[in-house]
Amino acid sequence: MTEPLSAVEARKLVRHILTSGTYGFTRHAKERMAERRMSQVDCVNVLRGGLVNEALTSFENGTWRYSIQTTSMAVVVAFRTEEQLVVVTAMRLSLEGVMQCFSCGESMVAGHENMPYDIGLPYQITLNGVVVHRCSGCDEYEVEIPKVEVLHREVALSVAHRRGRLAAGEIRFLRKSLGWSGRDFAERLEVAPETVSRWEHGALKMGERSELVLRMFVELGDRKENYVLTDEQPPPTEITATPDATIGWSVAA
């Protein structure tokens, strides 16, 4: 069996296993079902009549997980083999469209907040006014980040446009924002991989020429100003990012 399965393949396999294979469940699933007043019959009915939400298919702890849903319940399963499935967790879904907590099943309340965001830089990124759903029954929360690739791109440009010399963590972040491994980076800048490692750990100051080349790579060929680098301007203490309906994100240091 080659995974991940498509929604059609997963649904077909679930029905086959319910008919002639082995159905099982974890202790976690049993506990969640008890909390949410769901029976094994409820779970089997969801598996038999529900639809696979392909958008929620995920790879966790070495196995692929598939979410199968009806209008009122959802069951997450993993396949041991083509003849055995295991229910990993189960939950009730709100008919009123209220988001429910994945941890405890209680309803979540949405609001706008400023949230810290770890993007691998040596200073804090703050997302201004993003939607945050907080659970009414536990301390769980979910943050909505629209157009996340646009956000990462705008932050990378903000870092690349800064006139001060790049800090070690900024070099590492820009390299990763380009999707490069350390070896890729070394080849493009014609240096040894060990040099890249020393730059990114602060053991060696990056040369001005290499730094300018890195900034130009981040620009991806767009029109650039002439950078005049200086040691006088330190890295910022924080970058803020605010959702923008036109361009996706507005980023300021």
How do residues 116-143 score in pLDDT, each as one tens digit?
Answer: 998 888 888 999 999 898 887 788 999 9
Q: How big is the chain, counted in residues?
A: 253
pLDDT class of 227 with cuts at 50, 70, 90: very low
User: How do residues 176-196 score in pLDDT, each as one tens digit?
Assistant: 888 888 898 899 899 999 999
Residues in CB range of 250: below 8 A, 6 or more apart: 154, 241, 242, 243, 244
pLDDT class of 253 with cuts at 50, 70, 90: low
Token pair belonging to 124: 């804090």
The pLDDT > 90 percentage for the chain reads 50
Residue in the block written with tokens 């036109």: 246
| Per-residue pLDDT, 244 | 74
Question: Bridge-partner residues for 127, per DSSP?
Answer: 115, 241
Q: Is the pLDDT of residue 222 over 50?
A: no
| Per-residue pLDDT, 232 | 57
User: How do residues 25-37 score in pLDDT, each as one tens digit?
Assistant: 999 999 988 888 8
Domains and CATH numbers, the chain: 7-92 (3.30.2310)
| Per-residue pLDDT, 100 | 76
User: CA 197 → CA 126, 141, 156, 164, 253, distances in Å?
Assistant: 28, 36, 20, 21, 26
